[in-house]
Amino acid sequence: MSELLCVKHSIFSSEMQEEFDKDEEITSINVFDTFVRTLAKSTNVLSEEKLKGLVFRQFKSYGDFDETMTEVAENVSGIKQSTQDALLAIDKQDSGALKSAYNQLKSYEKRILELEEDIYTDDLTGIYNRKYLLNHELSKEGQFKADGMLLHISINNFEEINKEHGYESGDVVLKYVSKICQKNLKSVGVNLVRYLGIHFVAVVKESVSVKAVNLCQSTVDMILSKKFKTSTGEVLNIELQFCEVRISKGDGFQEVYEGL
């Protein structure tokens, strides 16, 4: 069982969830005995400091997220306490206390997942951010995990848009480009990432590389062919640049990106 509980997958089997989610009183506490004792053993060997250390290692590369990290640590510590409560409830055959502990565990799990999602989401566009790329698409050494393609989209006239139409219009353009590109790429299981300012990238598996490239190119062409208007009626053009490069497992992201 993973030491950093609940961050990656649910800690409850479907059988346990069905039993706990019933409206009536739990009838068989023994169903949960092995599970809770295993969970308790996993958390018992970890001190509070070790728990916080695990959380820190999980989130240390995310930048200035001290407040978030502290909240995650508190939730992980809460999981430890709720596990002990569940263990005590089993020993006492107290189904009410067991269900209460279960609800607490689910609450902690949900909040940890929400915090992780917040960390990986770009505040302006709502798509994944650079932290997601570094922690999910690349190895710890910053290398690609498999063969495929790296797609890159940039807004070439963004400074001009800001200067002529205002920063609010610039934000709208960023949101529009990211939203429509993400929507189309998502159809083939590809995530668009706002890597840096006006630059967006996507790491594409070999199996869907042709479809993803064609989708991205057609989306960019569609945006280039359209005329947009600001809230004051001014005509606004969006100039995009799209390129793709083949990648191999073990290639360094930074080297590939700088060569685009």
Residues in the chain: 260
Q: What is the pLDDT of residue 72?
A: 65
The pLDDT tens digits for 212-229 are: 999 999 999 999 999 898
Q: What is the pLDDT of residue 117?
A: 79
Average pLDDT of the segment spanning 150-154: 98
Which element (helix H / strand E) includes 186?
helix 167-186
Strands 199-205 and 228-229: unpaired
In whole angstroms, how far apart are CA 232 and each of 6, 166, 168, 228? Answer: 49, 11, 12, 11
Q: What is the pLDDT of residue 155?
A: 97
Higher pLDDT, 103 or 73: 103
- Adjacent-strand bridge partners of 22: none
pTM: 0.67
Strands 193-196 and 148-155: unpaired
Q: Would you call 170 exposed, middle or buried from its count of C-beta atoms within 10 A (0-12, 13-18, 19+)?
A: buried
The pLDDT tens digits for 4-57 are: 333 333 444 444 455 445 444 444 444 444 545 555 555 554 444 554 454 444
Q: What is the pLDDT of residue 129?
A: 94
Q: What is the pLDDT of residue 25?
A: 41
Q: What is the pLDDT of residue 12?
A: 42
Higher pLDDT, 35 or 76: 76
Q: What is the pLDDT of residue 92?
A: 81
Q: Which domains does the chain have, with CATH numbers?
A: 14-119 (no CATH), 128-258 (3.30.70.270)
The pLDDT tens digits for 79-135 are: 778 777 877 877 787 777 877 877 887 787 777 778 777 888 999 999 999 989 998
DSSP string, 65-126: -HHHHHHHHHHHHHHHHHHHHHHHHHHTT-HHHHHHHHHHHHHHHHHHHHHHHHHTB-TTT-
Q: What is the pLDDT of residue 238?
A: 96
Q: What is the pLDDT of residue 8?
A: 31
